[in-house]
């Protein structure tokens, strides 16, 4: 288990990197990242780095988690869709800042691990399923916010259609060979508005449910 000094050091690092929303910083401090990190990397759970998890995936760098969360501009009335549950860490952060979180994972192994962590933390406002994240979650649409934790070749139109008017989508998008850009999409009556944030590196957004041995 991490001591408080490691958490405090991480929060201070996030502040220096421009994370200013006190609610986001509070959620980052409250959620135990060590619970979401493989045992072999426990000593690095509060480093400001991405770390490997099962199925060839990663748990994102805390700064990127905080930046994407801050960009969503959440409130406690928001209904949020997350594409790519992974370890469950991002969903856990979202659960403290929104009314309800729906999260989709294509790997059954990761889904089962995340479900166990949500149960351990008593997160009753998170609903998770195994599925094709590229299709979103039409049965639960529309959403106030959508976050995608894998890089898409372009902005998925079906996710925009599952977003409420006035809602926001945060997603990494391919922006040339080996280049990805983290962008926010705001949906308005007259269309959508795109804002580019920073260059990033994410695993690709893949269609379908993964086949596992």
- Judged by DSSP in three states, 68 sits in helix
DSSP annotation of 161 reads: H
Two structure tokens written together for 125 = 């406002």
Looking at per-residue pLDDT, the higher value among 4 and 154 belongs to 154
Report the length, in residues, of the chain: 213
pLDDT over 70 at 51, yes or no = yes
pLDDT in tens, 124-151: 999 999 999 999 999 999 999 999 999 9
| Catalytic residue (one of 5, 9, 60, 186) | 60
Residue 9 bears catalytic tag: no
Decide if 18 contacts 70 (C-beta within 8 A): no
Element (H, E) at 110: helix 108-121
The percentage of residues in the chain with a pLDDT greater than 90, rounded to a whole number, is: 86
Of the CATH numbers 3.40.50.150, 3.90.550.10, 3.10.560.10, 3.40.50.800, which one belongs to the domain with range 4-200? 3.40.50.150
Give pTM, 2 decimals.
Answer: 0.94
65: nearest Cα among 38, 96, 39 = 96
């Amino acid at each position: 288990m991490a001591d408080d000094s490691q958490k405090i050091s991480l929060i201070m690092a996030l502040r220096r990197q421009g994370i200013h929303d006190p609610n986001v910083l509070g959620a980052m401090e409250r959620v135990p990242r060590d619970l979401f990190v493989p045992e072999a990397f426990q000593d690095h759970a509060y480093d400001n780095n991405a770390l490997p998890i099962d199925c060839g995936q990663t748990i994102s760098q805390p700064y990127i988690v905080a930046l994407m969360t801050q960009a969503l501009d959440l409130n406690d009335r928001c209904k949020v869709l997350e594409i790519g549950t992974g370890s469950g860490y991002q969903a856990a952060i979202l659960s403290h800042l929104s009314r309800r979180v729906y999260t989709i994972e294509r790997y059954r192994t990761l889904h089962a691990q995340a479900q166990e962590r949500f149960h351990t933390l008593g997160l009753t406002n998170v609903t998770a399923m195994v599925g094709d994240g590229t299709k979103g979650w039409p049965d639960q649409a529309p959403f106030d916010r959508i976050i995608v934790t894998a890089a898409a070749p372009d902005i998925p139109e079906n996710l925009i259609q599952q977003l409420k008017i006035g809602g926001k989508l945060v997603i990494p998008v391919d922006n040339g060979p080996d280049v990805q850009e983290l962008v926010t999409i705001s949906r308005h009556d007259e269309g959508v508005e795109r804002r580019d944030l920073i260059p990033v590196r994410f695993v690709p957004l893949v269609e379908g449910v993964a086949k596992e041995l």
